Amino acid sequence: MTDIAIQSVLAQMRAMQARAEGFQASPALEKPSGEFTTVMKSAIDHVNATQKAAGEMTKAYEAGKDVEIADVMVSLQKANIEFQATVQVRNKMVEAYQQIMNMPI
């Protein structure tokens, strides 16, 4: 990598860090500890729980229970965003694995 490319990547990382500092991390994912597989399992479980909660809220709304449509839409969007983020992490892990496998020995 050239020096200019490295500086560009560092500038992008600093900008992303500045944006991320304004957001509060999810308590379940705030301080990962243990092995990588344990952290990934807990993250996937968290996404699964969010999707189940959104599904239950949708069913409650469809059944005519006292649930606001705005709450249903927000929970569905949260579940969707978390799922998309998980898919992107998976894609990056597969890409890293493929790069490692293609390295000459």
pLDDT digits (tens, 9 = 90+) for 52-80: 999 999 999 999 999 899 999 999 999 99
- Dihedral through CA 12, CA 15, CA 19, CA 20, nearest 10? 60
- Model confidence at 40, in pLDDT bands (50, 70, 90)? confident
What pTM value is reported for the model?
Answer: 0.60
Check if the beta carbon of residue 57 is closer than 8 Å to that of residue 67.
Answer: yes
pLDDT interval class at 15 (50, 70, 90): confident
* Domain span holding position 53: 3-101
Instruction: Give the count of domains, the chain.
Output: 1
